[in-house]
Amino acid sequence: MEDRSRKMLINGQWMESLSGKQIALKSPATGETIAHMAYGGREEAIMAIEAAHDAFADWSTTPAKERSAYLLKIVQLMQENKADLAHMISLEMGKPIREARGEVDIAIDYVQWYAEEAKRVYGDLVPSNSKTKRILVVRQPVGVTAAITPWNFPLSMVTRKIAPALAAGCTVILKPAKQTPGSAILFFELMEKAGLPKGVANLVLGNAGEIAEAFTSSSYVKKITFTGSTEVGKQLLNQASHQVKRVSMELGGHAPFIVFPDADLEKSVEGLIASKFRNSGQTCICTNRVYVHTSIIEPFSRLLKQKIEKMVMGNGLREDVDLGPIVDRVGLQKIEEQVQDSLDRGAKLLSGGRIRTDGELGKGYFYEPTILVDVDDEMRVAYEETFGPVVPILPFETEQEVLEKANHTPFGLAAYFYTKDLGRTIRMYEGLEYGIIGANDPIPTTVQAPFGGFKESGIGREGGYYGMEGFLETKYVSLGF
Ligand code: NAP
């Protein structure tokens, strides 16, 4: 990366941290240092908040068509720089380059969608009870928005927040995850190239706790939008409550994947692989628990084993790789502990179950694709989010039983089921307490649909026109004459 690509962007200036502190960014596939990143904290966050505050008056009154034009210019620049963006995603967080290209495509789709949505922020004229009054309802940007994003989709999680915020007329400050500042920096370079006025979009890197504290304690910041773990989300909710700030939370999940006896076996196994092994199992909507009807457990598990043992593991930058590394050592250890816990409690390994230490793989954080059978509800994999390529298979007998088990979790992000029965399909999608349902579909994410969770998986929705809501306030004007 060139020199300025290690820096933050505050009020139109690329800058090092005020203390000069940097941290090394390492490849999870090779352990090599990619770059040294500026590492700031509270003071830089305050500078960025002030810049966003100063820029708000102009940006929020810029005609929607002009805001849209900026976003369309960003779309064009992202399209021209697709290869660099995908390379950076794969380099810094490890996902296979084919998946990284897919992420760039959807990241662009979000910007394109909200470029269009910017022009459709309508109000209402509601019939009044009086001849001399009119009831107007207008939508206005919520104000300065602070966004905090995770590493697992380092570009699309950023554009899914920043594009609707800018479209609505908000100014923003982003703090990306420490593992993936590079993708955010490239995106901010493109926003700068598109001519976005200074202070409208600011990038802060560094100490998450300090930066979040600056965001939540500033009266200038009106909205916090967060994607990450439920644990950090709860802390932020707490902090944001002091000023009753607007919040959107996209948090953790524990997705059930249910295979009924009438399901197409081949399609359900393929679907499970797509849902479970994408990004090496490190997505919030990844399958965590697989419920298979007792009558088909044996053929289902056999077919799954045959298929996953053919998957190619390695450096995500290689074209032939299906499974990249786990993002860091902490993530790798958590997977190992969860698998060991299952084995200690009586589960059996059907496939995998090891950290790879051989050859090139030994330099990175690689965990084999793994199948556990004889899993029960007491094992950690059955209730704790597994961010890794581990499939725990649990048996079930009846529809009612599996529905209750699937809902027996504080999470409610995504749930999947495979069946050909229409009545069962309707009963299941109505009964599942989840924000996203994949009925015979393992990859439900798409730009026009609302993405978000029930229960402890979050508050609010991103994507489609629903994604504008969180960046708008509703104002009622009673107009007498
Ligand atoms: P995380 O630890 O919660 O980190 C997410 C972001 O929060 C990072 O930018 C992180 O900064 C920051 N952060 C850490 N501690 C903080 C604090 N005390 N105050 C404020 N911010 C803080 O989550 P993760 O492990 O990176 O990401 C995986 C989690 O995200 C999973 O639970 C996954 O399910 C969830 N996720 C949810 C969705 C969704 O749409 N629902 C999408 C993707 C991921 P640092 O990196 O600097 O620590």
Cα–ligand 1 centroid distance for 226 (angstroms) = 8
Cα–ligand 1 centroid distance for 177 (angstroms) = 7
Q: 177 CB less than 6 Å from ligand 1?
A: yes
Inter-residue contact 117 to 110 (CB < 8 Å): no
3-state secondary structure 372-388: EECCCCCCHHHCCCCCC
Counting beta carbons within 10 angstroms of the beta carbon of residue 135, is it exposed (0 to 12), middle (13 to 18) or buried (19 or more)? Answer: middle
3-state secondary structure the chain: CCHHHHCEEECCEEECCCCCCEEEEECCCCCCEEEEEECECHHHHHHHHHHHHHHHHHHHHCCHHHHHHHHHHHHHHHHHCHHHHHHHHHHHHCCCHHHHHHHHHHHHHHHHHHHHHHHHCCCEEECCCCCCEEEEEEEEECCEEEEECCCCCCCHHHHHHHHHHHHHCCCEEEECCCCCHHHHHHHHHHHHHCCCCCCCEEECCECHHHHHHHHHHCCCEEEEEEECCHHHHHHHHHHHHCCCCEEEEECCCCEEEEECCCCCHHHHHHHHHHHHHHHHHCCCCCEEEEEEEHHHHHHHHHHHHHHHCCCCECCCCCCCCCECCCCCHHHHHHHHHHHHHHHHCCCEEEECCCECCCHHHHHCCCECCEEEECCCCCCHHHCCCCCCCEEEEEEECCHHHHHHHHHCCCEECEEEEECCCHHHHHHHHHHCCCCEEEECCCCCCCCCCCECCEECCEECCECCCHHHHCCEEEEEEEEEC
| pLDDT at residue number 293 | 98
Task: Give me the residue spans of the domains in the chain.
Answer: 3-251+457-480, 255-446
CA atoms 282, 284, 287, 291: torsion sign: positive
Cα–ligand 1 centroid distance for 35 (angstroms) = 22
Q: 412 CB less than 6 Å from ligand 1?
A: no
Q: Which residues does residue 259 pair with via DSSP β-bridges, in sequence order? A: 292, 418
CA distance 163 to 233: 21
The pLDDT of residue 276 is above 70 = yes
Inter-residue contact 451 to 110 (CB < 8 Å): no
From the list 175, 172, 179, 173, the residue with the least C-alpha distance to 149 is 175
The CATH architecture one would assign to domain 3-251+457-480 is 3-Layer(aba) Sandwich (3.40)
Tokens of 92: 């810094």
Assign 6 a pLDDT band (cuts: 50, 70, 90). Answer: confident
Q: 146 CB less than 6 Å from ligand 1?
A: no
Cα–ligand 1 centroid distance for 232 (angstroms) = 7
Residue pointed to by tokens 């009753």: 244
Active site residues: 250, 284
Which residue has the least CA distance to atom 30 on ligand 1?
228
Q: 239 CB less than 6 Å from ligand 1?
A: no
Q: 330 CB less than 6 Å from ligand 1?
A: no
The pLDDT of residue 2 is above 90 = no
CA distance 196 to 152: 27
The upper half-sphere exposure of residue 120, i.e. CA atoms within 13 Å in the direction of its Cβ, equals: 12
User: What digits encode the pLDDT tens for the residues 92-138?
Assistant: 999 999 999 999 999 999 999 999 999 999 999 999 999 999 999 99
Cα–ligand 1 centroid distance for 227 (angstroms) = 6
Q: 103 CB less than 6 Å from ligand 1?
A: no
CA distance 437 to 435: 7
User: What digits encode the pLDDT tens for the residues 146-185?
Assistant: 999 999 999 999 999 999 999 999 999 999 999 999 999 9
Inter-residue contact 263 to 257 (CB < 8 Å): no
Q: 110 CB less than 6 Å from ligand 1?
A: no
**Average pLDDT over every residue of 172-199:** 98
Which residue has the least CA distance to atom 39 on ligand 1?
250
Tokens of 18: 């005020």
CATH T-level topology, domain 255-446:
Aldehyde Dehydrogenase; Chain A, domain 2 (3.40.309)
Which atom of ligand 1 is found nearest the CA of 206?
Answer: 47
Distances from the Cα of 266 to the Cα of 34, 116, 271, 296, angstroms = 41, 39, 8, 12
Which residue has the least CA distance to atom 17 on ligand 1?
209
Q: 236 CB less than 6 Å from ligand 1?
A: yes
Inter-residue contact 432 to 282 (CB < 8 Å): no
The pLDDT of residue 333 is above 70 = yes
CA distance 319 to 358: 21
Q: 149 CB less than 6 Å from ligand 1?
A: yes
| pLDDT at residue number 248 | 98
Tokens of 8: 């933050």
Which atom of ligand 1 is found nearest the CA of 228?
Answer: 30
Cα–ligand 1 centroid distance for 107 (angstroms) = 18
Among 148, 247, 283, 456, the mutation site with the greatest number of ligand 1 atoms within 8 A of its Cβ is 148
Beta pairing, strands 33-38 & 144-148 = unpaired
Q: 156 CB less than 6 Å from ligand 1?
A: no
The pLDDT of residue 4 is above 80 = no
Distances from the Cα of 122 to the Cα of 125, 142, 168, 464, angstroms = 10, 15, 11, 15
Q: Which residues does residue 417 pair with via DSSP β-bridges, in sequence order? A: 258, 439
Among 17, 21, 152, the mutation site with the greatest number of ligand 1 atoms within 8 A of its Cβ is 152
Cα–ligand 1 centroid distance for 33 (angstroms) = 22
| pLDDT at residue number 3 | 52
| pLDDT at residue number 298 | 97
Mean pLDDT of the chain: 97
User: What digits encode the pLDDT tens for the residues 131-143?
Assistant: 999 999 999 999 9
